[in-house]
Structures are given as C-alpha cells and as structure tokens.
Amino acid sequence: MSNICKDAVTESHPMNGGDGTYSYTKNSYFQKSATNVARCMIHNAVADKLDISQLFSNFATSSSNTFRIADLGCSIGPNTFTAMQNVQEAIQHKYRLSQSRPHNSSSSSSLAMPEFQVFFNDHVTNDFNTLFSSLAASERPYFTAGVPGSFHGRLFPSSSLHFVHSSLALHWLSTMPKELVDENSPAWNRSKVHYTNAPNEVYKAYEAQFGRDMAQFLEARAIELVVGGLMVLIMPAVPNNVPLSQMPLGVIYGLLGCVLMDLSKEGFISESEVDSFNLPVYVVSPKEMIGIIERNGCFSIEIIELYKPMSSVNNGEITPLTVTMHLRAAMEGIIIKHFGTEIIDELFHRIHKKMEELSNQLQPRTKEGTQLFLVLKRKSS
Amino acid sequence: MSNICKDAVTESHPMNGGDGTYSYTKNSYFQKSATNVARCMIHNAVADKLDISQLFSNFATSSSNTFRIADLGCSIGPNTFTAMQNVQEAIQHKYRLSQSRPHNSSSSSSLAMPEFQVFFNDHVTNDFNTLFSSLAASERPYFTAGVPGSFHGRLFPSSSLHFVHSSLALHWLSTMPKELVDENSPAWNRSKVHYTNAPNEVYKAYEAQFGRDMAQFLEARAIELVVGGLMVLIMPAVPNNVPLSQMPLGVIYGLLGCVLMDLSKEGFISESEVDSFNLPVYVVSPKEMIGIIERNGCFSIEIIELYKPMSSVNNGEITPLTVTMHLRAAMEGIIIKHFGTEIIDELFHRIHKKMEELSNQLQPRTKEGTQLFLVLKRKSS
C-alpha cells in the first residue's frame, strides 16, 4: 500500500493567497458566479440521480451513519464552502423526501439523516491554515477534514466516499509534456505560451497529457467512491469541434503570449524564457470527456451539459479590468515562478490595455456554454 | 447537528513553530523519548487489548475496510508521525497474527488487512501547512487528513474511529477559571503563575477545570469511537497523594513564577501582570483519572500505569539547559501573548541560571514514573 499513498509527482499551481488586491479571495467572483449557477444543477442532479436506498444499504449494516463528501481542488475558500453547503443541503433535502414517503418497514430504520463529513482536498502547497481559519469562523453543519495531495493519485481509502465534487480544478495539468520545450520536437511551442493558435503538435501534446491526467483521476476515484456514489465535475470547456482560439479564454491566453513576446522584444525578458513557458491548462470538449470516461469504464454518465457559468445579471461584470484581475489572481504565481516578480505589474498593465482594445472578443461568441457540468455515478463492478 | 460542529470555545497553546533554535521541532526530544518508550507499551496494548473480531464484525458487513486512527493534539511533528507509525505497525502485526491462526470459515474473508486512514488533529491555530509538508516529504503507509478544532468538543462523526491516540496534550486546560484572576476570590493566584505552592483554592480551581475538560473530552470520544475501539492517552502525571511541588515539573513552574516576580520587582513588568498570568496546565494523578473515567461510564480501563518517560540512556540529557529550552519551546507563545516579547531573552536567561542552582531538584525524586499511560476501551452501550 505504500506506493498508492505517495503523492503523485505533480506540479501545484496555488491561487494567490491572502486577501489583498490581487488575491484569489477577492478575484474569484467569476468562480463564485459559476458556483451559484451550479447550485441549481447540483440540486437537480442529487434529486434525480442519487439513489439513497443503494447508498444506505451499506449504512444499514454498519454501525456508522456517515455521508462522506470530498471537494477536490478546493483552494482556500470561500467558493468551496458555498459549494459544500449546496451539496450537503441537496442531499439532506433528498433524505427528507425519502423519509416523508411511505416505505417498507425493513428500511424504515435506515433512513435516519446521516452525519456529514466533508474532506477539503488540494495540493500540499495550498494554504490550509487560511482554509481552516475561515472554516472555524463560521458554524457549519458537517465535520471537516483537510486532505493534502494531488487528486491525480489516491487520496482516500477504498469505498470511503459517497459524493465527490470538483469545480474548476481538473483543467490544470499535473505536469507539462517535455516536448513543448524541446527545440528538436515538432511540438516545440516557440513564441507562444499555450496551444491556442499554436501548431497542431502542441495541441496534441497538451491533449495527451490531459488524457493521462483524467485517466489517473478516474482510476483513483473509481476505487474511492462507493457503488452508487455520485461525482460532480465542473470544468471550463469548448463546444465539440470548436477550437479554443475562437473562445474568450483562448483570446486571453493568446493575448498573454503576445504581451510576453512584446516584453521580450523590448528586453524585459529573453525570448527563450517565453519559449520555455507554457500555461498548464487544457480546455476539454464534451465529446473528448465522454471518450475518456468510457475508456475508464467504471462510471455511468448521468448528466453531461455545457452551460453558461455567468447569469445574465453578472454579465456586466465581464470587463477588461475584471478579466485581467481574475487572470492575475489565478496565474500570477506560475508567471512569477518562471519570469520573476519584476515584470508582473508591467505585464498585467499591458494585458489590461490590450483587453480594452479586444473587449468585444471577451464576450462568448457561441450560443453554447463555456463550462462543462458532468455527473458521473460509480457503477457496480 | 450544527451545535456539535461548532468549535468548542477553547484557548489554543501552539508550540513554537518553524525549526529555529527555540522551535518545538528542535526542542521536543523529551517528548520524542517519551514516544519511544511508549512504543513498546502501545505494541503490548494493541496485542493484548485490541479485539479485532469485535471491530471487523463491522467491516464484514460494510463495503469499506478502513481502519481509522486519530492523533489528538498532534502539533506539527515529527513525534506525531513516529507515534502514528507505531500504532499502525502494532495493529498490522495484530492482524497478521490473526490471519496466521486457524479460524472458522465465517470470519475468514474478513481478516483482510484494512487500509489505514490517520486523522491529525490540533487547534485551528496549529501550523497544518508545516505538518502537511512534512507528511508529503516521506512515504507513509496510510491515507492522511488534518482535522482542525478543539478535542474538547466533537471532531468526528459517530462511531467513525477505531483507535484514538493523544500524547502530552490533555494536560493543557481549555480555558482558565476566572476566579484565578479575581482579587476578591479566595482562588486569586497572586504573585504566582501556577497552583504549585499556591493556596488550596487555586489548586481546586485548576482541578475543577481539568475535570470539566476531561468530561467533555470523554463524552465526545465516547460518541466517535466504535464499540471495542481503543484509546491510548499519555499525559504528565503525579503519583497518588504526591503534590506537584515535590516533582520536577512543579519545581520548574515554581521557578518560572519566582523569576517573573523578580522581573516585576525590578520594573521589567508590573506585578499585576504576574498576578493575572497562570500556566494553563494541570498534572493529574492516576486516582483522579480513574474517578473521571468512571463518572463518564462509557470506557473500561484496560491499562493504567505510571511510567518513566526517559530511558536511562536519555537521563543524561536532563540538564538545566535542555529543560530551559524545552520550557521555552512549549511556553514561549503564551508568555509572549501575555507579557510581550521584550522580556523573553532575559526571562529564559535567568531561568537557566536558577535551574543550574537547583539542578538536583530537576531529577525525579520518587521511584514512580511521571507520565501516565492509559488504555481505554469503548464499552458497548
């Protein structure tokens, strides 16, 4: 068992900590909006797809009546708290409905509301101290635990989870394919920082890495989730057969690359520094995800849906400034790690300017959504 | 359920963090020695007292085969890792023995080695980031989670733990009785910082607070531990009917009070600052613990033993300097909180000098041990 518990060798990309101007806490309301929109979808998924009788067939014969939920890639809050509250309320609601329905006597004693235990997971480098002090500051109707480690490997004992949630975390790649920085490879990503508008070989290298990551993720979760347990995955996505370059996120990543190249031409950084930097993010399509899930074979796809994460009320908040601030909160850490701190202010100042020029391209151009909502159920093996 | 999950209103007393000269990490080898001595005792306790068939009667009917262990008051390591390894190895050994014995066919399938999940608990203010990065640096044969919160309240779901361990944590009081700082109370602890050599009313106030704390601790654990589950508690102790002032720890606390009074006389601090400061530590006797456990009523006492935490090899390490350094690593935080940082170096310099004068009193004077080793088993209710 010693191997499975060793952290998978993966890179971590922590969001900006603290609560300053450029912090994730202050610049994650796109994510917050996504959490709010997802709320209804989660409620409906639990109502329609969670089979309590299947789950509590285990509880009935056990001395414990604990419903275990994990949020994978939780960051430091506050969105994870809102999400976990949503999940827990949806499950409680489902239990209450079951209790109020007539049922046969054999199961009546087993419908007691369970206690909830929520596991908050993120990389070891995540600021769990901040997460825990935020948790302590509020009453919460569940027991809590923090689980450090990569979700691309095993994190929990077999069949110990009943519900897994992961929002806006799975698009981060665990590691970058080496060929992207190999001058002799056709996948060398010269003068760019992402596969947006890059040669097809670059895209293929990203795609293959994402496939490996998701395969490991699903393999681990298939062991950890009880039969009948649900997994809700939320991630940025492209519609089938639409290249990322035609989506706002692709425009933003392309723009980041252009500004970095401008800075290299002006001598702020070297061109080879830009060549060797690649954003570790992959944006999947529904069709690809279906393929990956089917290859794993342990989960049934209960819901798969592209949706618009921003409600119409929030659309006004997508301004060049807010997009820049969000980009900074999410990416500043890995940019500083590669380029150092000196160029940061200048970089984001220029990005903001460019975004103002291109603001019409920041609005979604397809009618389809830009986020994937997936509900998987652990099949009986 | 919302109430039970709210953190009990308790004070936390984190050890010195980091790994500097005065850190707990560098000044906890008395604790480390205690952990090593306890190793054998834990192995024997598991071998003699853990009834696997009672525990795995639950596993047999559940889809999960997880053995859950909690270390309460774990601090930031490394002693907690050693202790958890000891516990896990002892349990594995017991399982292997059971597997090698002839057994009836009905239980044969249930003797499979479980997976282990270890919960590291301490106050919210504990440095879990340091704990988690130390954990990640080594391979470990169990799944891990951090649980922030006071062990004087509920931390885990009902019947979810199989083994609880707590070493050198339960002597810290959750809060200080108000009468100790009330000039109009007979328990006003004037010119002293502990009940050592203080009026009996002061001792009584400490004793009552410890009784309330332990009652809450046992009440919570009685709910969380499965029937048949074991709890190993290690704490500093006095032999029955021996006052703390006759033990080295009492001498040290008395000396701390004297030096603080000296500093107040010389104008470094005010006398009222000394009057209002009290070390939140209670040192129990076996007889008292038996009374508290029996009043709770949910646990059988399987082993209760006073032992000497330092092996003869380590006795040479009890020098005025090492004792001073350990005192500083453990107490500096609460002293600074009350008196500020300015007096710290002077205070511990003087304590060191005084300890050199009194070094003969730092060796244990009784033949009996100074640490209590307790093994409790959750009775069927």
pLDDT at B6: 37
Distance from CA of A9 to the nearest CA of B (A): 11
What Rg value do the Cα atoms of chain A yield, rounded? 22
pLDDT digits (tens, 9 = 90+) for A235-275: 999 999 999 999 989 999 999 999 999 999 999 999 999 99
Strand ranges for A62-108 from DSSP E:
66-72
pLDDT digits (tens, 9 = 90+) for A60-91: 556 578 999 999 999 998 889 999 999 999 99
* CA–CA gap between residue A375 and residue A13 (Å, rounded): 25
* CA–CA gap between residue B338 and residue B277 (Å, rounded): 7
Choose the closest CB to B5 out of A133, A143, A145.
A143
Query: Any idea which of A157-166, B10-19, B61-70, B236-245 has the lowest mean pLDDT?
Result: B10-19
The model's pTM: 0.90
pLDDT digits (tens, 9 = 90+) for B208-235: 999 999 999 999 999 999 999 999 999 9
pLDDT at A10: 59
Angle between helices A248-265 and A344-357 (to 10 degrees): 130
How large is the average pLDDT for residues B163-179?
A: 96
pLDDT digits (tens, 9 = 90+) for A169-220: 999 999 999 999 999 999 999 999 999 999 999 999 999 999 999 999 999 9
pLDDT higher than 90, residue B24: no
pLDDT higher than 60, residue B3: no
For residue B259, the Cα-to-chain-centroid distance in whole angstroms is 27
Nearest Cα residue to A120 out of A85, A94, A158: A85
pLDDT at B7: 38
B65 in contact with A, Cβ within 8 Å: yes
What total number of domains does chain A contain? 1
* CA–CA gap between residue A328 and residue A30 (Å, rounded): 13
Asked if the Cβ–Cβ distance from B143 to A135 is below 8 Å, we say no
pLDDT at B261: 96
pLDDT at A46: 94
Beta strands A225-236 and B115-122 are: unpaired
* CA–CA gap between residue B142 and residue B134 (Å, rounded): 15
pLDDT at A112: 84
> What is the domain range of residue B122?
2-378
Supply φ then ψ for residue B116, to 5 degrees.
Answer: -110, 140
* Secondary structure element (H or E) that encloses residue A377, with its range: strand A371-378
Q: What is the ipTM of this complex?
A: 0.89
Interface mutation target, options B160, B378, B379, B380, chain A, most CBs of A under 10 Å:
B160
Nearest Cα residue to A68 out of B109, B30, B63: B63
Identify the burial level of A266 via C-beta atoms within 10 angstroms of its C-beta, where 0-12 means exposed, 13-18 middle and 19 or more buried: exposed
Show which of residues 311-350 on chain A sit within 8 Å of chain B, judged by CB atoms: none
pLDDT higher than 70, residue A354: yes
B303 in contact with A, Cβ within 8 Å: no
pLDDT digits (tens, 9 = 90+) for B112-158: 899 999 999 999 999 999 999 999 988 899 999 999 999 999 999 99
* pLDDT winner (highest mean) among A94-98, A149-153, A243-247: A149-153
Q: What is the SS3 assignment for B37?
A: helix
pLDDT at B78: 86
How large is the average pLDDT for residues B232-242?
A: 95
Asked if the Cβ–Cβ distance from B139 to A5 is below 8 Å, we say yes
* CA–CA gap between residue B199 and residue B187 (Å, rounded): 7
pLDDT digits (tens, 9 = 90+) for A271-305: 999 999 999 999 999 999 999 999 999 999 999 99
pLDDT at B195: 97
pLDDT-derived band at A108 (thresholds 50, 70, 90) equals very low
CATH number, position A284: 3.40.50.150
Is the Cβ–Cβ distance between A46 and A104 less than 8 Å? no
CA distances from A2 to A139, A145, A151 (A): 36, 22, 17
Mean pLDDT of chain B: 87
pLDDT digits (tens, 9 = 90+) for B130-143: 999 999 988 899 99
* Secondary structure element (H or E) that encloses residue A110, with its range: none
Q: Which residues on B lie below 8 Å from A380 (Cβ)?
A: none
* CA–CA gap between residue A89 and residue A93 (Å, rounded): 6
Choose the closest CB to A132 out of B64, B115, B128.
B128
pLDDT at A211: 98
pLDDT digits (tens, 9 = 90+) for A121-138: 999 999 999 999 999 988
pLDDT-derived band at B109 (thresholds 50, 70, 90) equals very low
Interface mutation target, options B9, B57, B64, B156, chain A, most CBs of A under 10 Å:
B64
pLDDT at A126: 95
User: How much of chain B is in helix, strand and coil states, percent to nearest 5?
Assistant: 50, 15, 35
Choose the closest CB to A136 out of B148, B159, B226.
B148
Per this entry, what is the length of chain A?
Answer: 381
Handedness of CA A179, A180, A181, A187 (dihedral sign): positive
